[in-house]
Chain A
Amino acid sequence: MISAFGAVLFVFILVTALAAAVLRDILAVIIISGAYSLGMALFYAFLLAPDVAMTEAAIGAGVTTLLLLLTVTRTVRQDHNRAIERPNVPALLVCGGFLIVLLMTVAEFPVVGDPAIAWDNPAITQYYIDNAYKDTGVKNAVTAVLAGYRGFDTFGEAMVVFLAGMAALLVLKRGVFTNE
């Protein structure tokens, strides 16, 4: 029964994601993104990741819709004479290529529940506990991993958050609603 539920859930997520991608009316896309977020929260719950599902629930049901609507009020809502957006061929090609590259990594994934998974290996955990202070000079091991061992990753994340904040401020500062 659990696979039947998973299959229907997959179909639901796929349908909402495709609809959000191809529909032309921005308001409809915002509403359907809400439906997509519901599906993703269910998916995280289905995979027994309640913390991620909880974040998706709080962000998807509350914040995202409001932010997107605010953006629409401060920018332009495009005409919707056509119901379906014409696909952008170069963008489609880039996304397709990226999808293929990502799918190639799927074969390398460890099996779910595999005892030899790297993160479940006590030896690796012990390595960080033993060497974190010596390597990075940071006393907290978690901070050492975040800011030291994967420092470039964290730097990239901080940059993305910074750029997103700047873009949001720029959009909100315009303050004029043009309905064209």
Chain B
Amino acid sequence: MSAVTPFIADVFLGAAALFMVLAIALTYRAIKGPTTQDRVLAVNVLGTNTVVVLALLAAALGETSLLDIALIYALLNFLMAVAISKFTVERGGVL
């Protein structure tokens, strides 16, 4: 990956920091609840948020390998939502 100019890297890192502020706001919903569905949805959005932040970090730091982690999260993010949905509907069935 070609390295970006320091100014652009700073812009990317600033955007990533703003996304992390958004993540803290989402954490409020995950902690407060009140229902399990609220929490699952909040953590699901947090996962998507993490994918974006990882992509921004990869661009800003010039580390291509971080994109692989973003891909893993994009692929596995649905697992928790599915597992907890099945758990709440069937009372005990997870897989």
Residues of A within 8 A of B (CB): 1-2, 4-5, 7-9, 11-12, 15-16, 19, 23, 27-28, 30-32, 34-35, 38-39, 41-42, 45-46, 48, 50, 53-54, 57-58, 61-62, 65-66, 69-70, 72-73, 177, 179
Contacts and interface: CB of A to CB of B under 8 A. Distances in A.
A66 B87 CA distance: 10
B76 A62 contact: yes
A35 B66 CA distance: 19
A28 B69 contact: no
B94 A5 contact: no
B38 to A, nearest CB: 10
Interface of B: 9-10, 13-14, 16-17, 20-21, 23-24, 27, 30-31, 33, 36, 39-40, 42-43, 46-47, 50, 53-54, 57, 61, 63, 65-66, 68-69, 72-73, 76-77, 79-80, 83-84, 87, 91-95
Contacts, number: 136
Q: Chain B CB within 10 Å — which of A23, A38, A179 has the most?
A: A38
A16 B40 CA distance: 14
Contacts of B13: 1-2, 4-5
B17 A4 contact: yes
A177 B91 CA distance: 9
A32 B63 CA distance: 28
A54 B57 CA distance: 15
Nearest to A22: B31
B66 to A, nearest CB: 5
Contacts of B76: 57-58, 61-62
